[in-house]
Structure 1
Amino acid sequence: MTQHSLDSSGQAEILDLDADVLAEHTASITSWLPVGAQPRHIVDLGCGTGAGTFALLARFPGARVTAVDSSERHLHRLREKAGVLGLADRVRTVAADLDADRPDLGRPELVWASASLHHMAHPDRTLSAVHGLLAPGGLFAVVELAGFPRFLPADAPAERPGLEDRCHAALAHHHAERVPHRGADWGPRLTAAGFTVEGERTVTVDVGAARGEAVGRYALSGLGRLRERAAPALTAEDLGALDRLLDTDGPGSILLRPDLAVRTERTVWAARRA
């Protein structure tokens, strides 16, 4: 399985919502990066619809970004956004499956890989490839989420407390088989690929509903995906509780909950090529 391989409008939508809801946390990570001199060329590996690309363009106004993804749909969406924002001349897109392809990406001073390495079948090959790709002294930033976000407190909903935990547990076997590198400690693997890890930081994410309607739409989309994938392993009672949360016209809609939030952690590793 390669980065962002679920090429669908639903996947693009949740990537856009992720970018919106987590924008402040992404900006804090880009500000923390120990880049030294300002990079002129950045590569965004597994860019999706551009969350990292646009955060990096804002953080480094003198840089251009090569955005790489296996999904043409995502790249098209990214190019549309770049045009609207007046950034088209600073963005180049490359369609590539990084498990199979080795496109010409130039000699960047910074490579960014957010929530993409764990999707790759052979991430250690990619780490080695990035080491060879980077300019001497260049930085590789790896950002990973601690699993899919939670949206409800542990004791919710009232009729089925712990519902989200059971949904995630139901998916554990699926993830172990199909995304075996999810949750990996990338520090030792970066060191094995020849990098010097200069920093590691974990950012706690807790974005409440007051942040705006994007939080509700993100939760609705996320729980919908959980239901789709976990349904075979859930009880009828849990499925019923999920359906009530997903019913936007019903009194139990997740959009009506005052305790709705996006809760997760993001860890970033900053690794230097000597």
Structure 2
Amino acid sequence: MSGHTHDHIDWADRLVLLRAADTLDAPAQAAIAARLVAKLPANPTVIDLGCGAGGMSTHFAQALATQHGGTIILVDATPELLHEAERAVLAAADAAQNNRADNPAFPPERGGHVATDGDGDHRTSDAGSSNHTAAAGGSGSEVSSNHTAATGSRAPTVEVRAIVADLADSALPDLLPAADLVWASRVVHHLPDQQAAIGTLAAVARAGGVVALAEGGLSFSCLPWDLGVGRPGLEDRLQAAQAEWFVGMREGIDGAVPMPYGWTVALERAGLADVSSFSALVDHPAPGPDGLTDYVHHHLSRLATHGADHLADEDRATLASLLDPDSSHYLGKRRDLFLLGARTVHHGRRS
């Protein structure tokens, strides 16, 4: 059963799209994770709020595994996504630590190694440990904890926990440990009161901890301007239609509160210091990597649904032709698809 979301979107139904986006975003996400983890103390606690399919936390896990280790806590309101995120992050941590053990610069000593049975259960060998608990408190439910991946007695360990919780719940700080890094990627804009949510995120951070939001950036482009079907400039009109859909989505959230200022101002109003932003480029020139065509298909299918009421009949017909495998204009037959955009991260430190 899917978790409740304020935006009335079935996020579990978007798992395929989220996985594809995480794959294509991987270089940018890895750069962002490395930059943020470099700000943290040894053995930090990282909380990924609204973790989705776990793509970003796989890079946090890799960064922690190659440095001092730490704990990653995955939080999402959708159990299906949370389960996938936990699986992906554990696998990434395990792979990173195995790579470290194989690197002569990091000689292995005594330690444990997490393996995974075919049915997805985790087991350990040697001196490692993997425990599973189920608990509930407030509106959060801890579905798994203390899954630890480790290789080498002094090699860093990465513990992964997963908690079902609503990011709009003001009691969230009571459900979570104090964090050295609180991360939320493209989730705050789906919550009723964005400023209040940022205040809650700030309360989850320990003194000196970092709060980082991935919001905004540059809209992603993937289509040539002239497609040979319909009026040129389709993508510009799709992005305009998406913007109109977004306005309606915000208006349709129960209890929605406007936030008529930018993300850095919102972080400052939450009491954070040293507020700043940086961006990471996502750039896959044509013909692009494996999986790009499928991602573009999912992406345009979503835009076709969101923008249906904001597009001219001709543009809707063009989209239908691009998405139809039997059409001579099917996008899967093209070699000029690409992906270009930027992810922007706004961050500050709790005093």
Is the shorter-chain TM-score for this pair beyond 0.5, marking a shared fold? yes
Q: Which has the higher helix share?
A: 1
Residues 2 and 121 of structure 1 are in contact (CA less than 8 Å); yes or no, is this contact kept in structure 2?
no
Displacement after TM superposition at 1:154 (Å): 3.0
Higher relative contact order (CA 8 A, sep 6+): 1
3-state SS, counterpart of residue 67 of structure 1 = strand
Residue type at the aligned position of 1:244: S
**2:64 maps to what in 1?**
60
Unaligned stretches of 5+ residues in structure 1: none
Question: Between the two proteins, what is the percent identity of the paired residues?
Answer: 28
- Check if 1:265 corresponds to 2:342: yes
- Distance between the aligned counterparts of 1:233 and 1:27, measured in 2? 36
Displacement after TM superposition at 1:205 (Å): 2.3
- Distance between the aligned counterparts of 1:29 and 1:261, measured in 2? 22
Q: 1:95 aligns with which of 133, 154, 164?
A: 164
- Cα gap change, 1:157/1:31 in structure 2, threshold over 3 Å: closer, same or farther? farther
Q: Which moved more, 1:181-190 or 1:106-115?
A: 181-190
Q: Quick check: which has more Rg, 1 or 2?
A: 2
Q: Which moved more, 1:174-183 or 1:120-129?
A: 174-183
TM-score by length of 1: 0.89
- Distance between the aligned counterparts of 1:18 and 1:270, measured in 2? 22
Q: Which moved more, 1:13-22 or 1:93-102?
A: 93-102
Residues 3 and 97 of structure 1 are in contact (CA less than 8 Å); yes or no, is this contact kept in structure 2?
no
Q: Which has the higher strand share?
A: 2
- Cα gap change, 1:80/1:31 in structure 2, threshold over 3 Å: closer, same or farther? closer
- Distance between the aligned counterparts of 1:12 and 1:183, measured in 2? 31
- Cα gap change, 1:76/1:40 in structure 2, threshold over 3 Å: closer, same or farther? same
Q: Which moved more, 1:158-167 or 1:91-100?
A: 158-167
3-state SS, counterpart of residue 219 of structure 1 = helix
**1:133 maps to what in 2?**
204
1:1-274 matches, within 5 Å, as: 2=5, 6-33=9-36, 35-61=39-65, 62-82=69-89, 84-85=91-92, 86=94, 88-89=147-148, 90-100=159-169, 102-103=171-172, 104-146=175-217, 149-179=220-250, 185-274=262-351
Residue type at the aligned position of 1:16: R
Q: Which moved more, 1:207-216 or 1:261-270?
A: 207-216
Residue type at the aligned position of 1:134: A
3-state SS, counterpart of residue 179 of structure 1 = helix
Q: Which moved more, 1:199-208 or 1:70-79?
A: 199-208
Number of residues of Structure 1 aligned to a counterpart in Structure 2:
274
- Cα gap change, 1:80/1:32 in structure 2, threshold over 3 Å: closer, same or farther? closer
CA RMSD in angstroms comes to: 2.6
Unaligned stretches of 5+ residues in structure 2: 95-113, 115-146, 149-158, 252-257
- Distance between the aligned counterparts of 1:102 and 1:92, measured in 2? 19
